[in-house]
Amino acid sequence: MNTIRTTDQAQLFVWSDIDPDHEADFNQWYDREHMEERVRIPGFTGARRYRAVSGSARRYLALYRASSLSDFTSDAYRKAFTKQTQWSVTNFGRMSNTRRRVMNVAQEGGFGWGGALVLIELVPDAIDDGAVADVLAEVMAKDGVLRVHHMIPDIALSTPLPSENTEGRVLAPCIAVDVSSEPIAEATLRQLTEKLGGAVREAETFRLMWALDEHDLPAVQD
């Protein structure tokens, strides 16, 4: 299970905050419209939503899995942006402190999704892929660690949302680790930050809110 493999798959993450006055509507929009819309795009295989447990001012994280980076340049993906619902337009405008990154899942180990997640942004070029693979294999050997991902941002595809401050914007590679519980997430975060040292740019733990797989969705009726 702890074998680290290379992949051609892709993952989009949108990490943002929302004014508490609009938080209920924001969550309803994600849960009742936005996640389904994105997972129905051909090539997208699933999505997960998380809420921050430790760290940053950004409280919400959404991860969308796709078969390859080319799924983010397809006609279907472009169409999703040209036909936004008013509910989507409203909530995109309410997001704050947002980071949107389209990533190649360069290395991965394990399988499944955990009840908690560790997300570490790395300082660009601070550590090479071989060293990352060694760290991921070591982490995979720990009880409660289910899946590890090393993601590299695509510069052309990681266009910012309007709510992202582009001054000094950094497209950082990331390590994400799915684990079975929040205490294991905290322990894994400590282990990784100690192991990676100065290569860590930012680190956070999250709890899973819910996950949606492409196979969960019923066919659209004509």
Q: What's 181's domain CATH number?
A: 3.30.70.100
Cα–Cα distance for residue pair 149/177, rounded to 1 Å: 6
Q: Kindly give the interhelix angle for 129-140 and 182-196, rounded to the nearest 10 degrees.
A: 150
Nearest 10 degrees: CA dihedral of 109, 13, 65, 4? -10
d(CA 14, CA 8): 20
pLDDT in tens, 5-14: 999 999 999 9
Strand partners, 147: 110, 178
- Is the pLDDT at 148 greater than 70? The verdict is yes
Domain, as residue range, for 41: 5-212
pLDDT reading at 87 higher than 90: yes
Q: Assign 193 to helix, strand or coil.
A: helix
Task: Give percent of the chain above pLDDT 90.
Answer: 90
CA distances, 87 to each of 26, 36, 157 (Å): 9, 14, 24
37-73, pLDDT tens digit by residue?
Answer: 999 999 999 999 999 998 667 899 999 999 999 999 9
Q: What is the reported pLDDT for 54?
A: 82
Model pLDDT, residue 190: 96
Give the least confident one: 40-54, 62-76, 79-93, 145-159: 79-93
Is residue 219, in this structure, part of any structural domain at all? no
Tokens of 100: 């949107």
Structure tokens at 91: 């909530």
Tokens coding 130: 């071989």
Residue 132 inside a domain? The answer is: yes
Tally of domains within the chain: 1
Is there a domain that residue 65 lies in?
yes
Q: What is the pLDDT of residues 162-178, one digit of tens each?
A: 889 899 999 999 999 99
Residue 221 resides in a domain: no
